[in-house]
Amino acid sequence: MFQERMVMSFLLDPLFLIVIGVAIVYLAEKFLRKTLRNPILVLSVVTVALFWSISGLLYLDYLDFPLLGKAGSGRHFMWNSGVELIGLNPPIDVSVTYANPFTTLNIVAVMLFATYPLFLYLGVYVGSKIFSKSRMRKI
């Protein structure tokens, strides 16, 4: 149920994080400024923690999307984003085992996970330009 609605991958996550960053600023400016001391920081930390948790579990093959068949298996989905569903061949072979954690794909995956806060910050920055009441306010 929850897994079927949460679609995350290295291709989709950055786009989702940017959009969510814009939404965080909107929610903070419209609804949460009076109830939370720093709503943008709180929502940003929760968002990155959720993305790291769910994407990490997908990458480690603890979660998958059974409705997508083989295209929805955790690690395969994180790298290839289910491109088979639109008739393309998967660009990345994920048959590499976890025997050596320092394989190229694992190192690249860690670097990609490390960029998640940057994509969220980009969304928050754009959102602050659009929705912030005082345009000069620093985030």
In a domain, 98, yes or no: yes
Asked whether residue 6 carries a pLDDT value surpassing 70, the answer given is no
Query: Average of pLDDT values for 11-17?
Result: 93
> 58 near 8, Cβ under 8 Å?
yes
In a domain, 85, yes or no: yes
In a domain, 36, yes or no: yes
In a domain, 4, yes or no: no
In a domain, 26, yes or no: yes
Task: List, in order, residues 6 or more apart from 112 with CB less than 8 Å away.
Answer: 10
Query: Average of pLDDT values for 125-138?
Result: 75
In a domain, 34, yes or no: yes
Q: pLDDT tens digits, residue range 49-107? A: 999 999 999 898 899 878 888 788 888 888 888 888 888 888 888 876 667 888 888 99
What's the pTM?
Answer: 0.84
In a domain, 50, yes or no: yes
Spatial distance between the Cα atoms of 58 and 139, rounded to a whole number of angstroms: 31
Convert 51-73 to b/e letters by CB count within 10 Å (16 or more is b): beebbbebbeeebbbeebeebbb
In which domain, by residue range, is 81 found?
A: 9-131
Task: List, in order, residues 6 or more apart from 109 with CB less than 8 Å away.
Answer: 10, 59, 78
The more confidently predicted of residues 97 and 21 is: 21
Structure confidence at residue 133 as a pLDDT band (50, 70, 90): low
What single-letter DSSP state applies at residue 90? P
Asked whether residue 3 carries a pLDDT value surpassing 50, the answer given is no
Spatial distance between the Cα atoms of 57 and 138, rounded to a whole number of angstroms: 34
Query: Average of pLDDT values for 13-18?
Result: 96
Query: For the chain, what is the domain count?
Result: 1
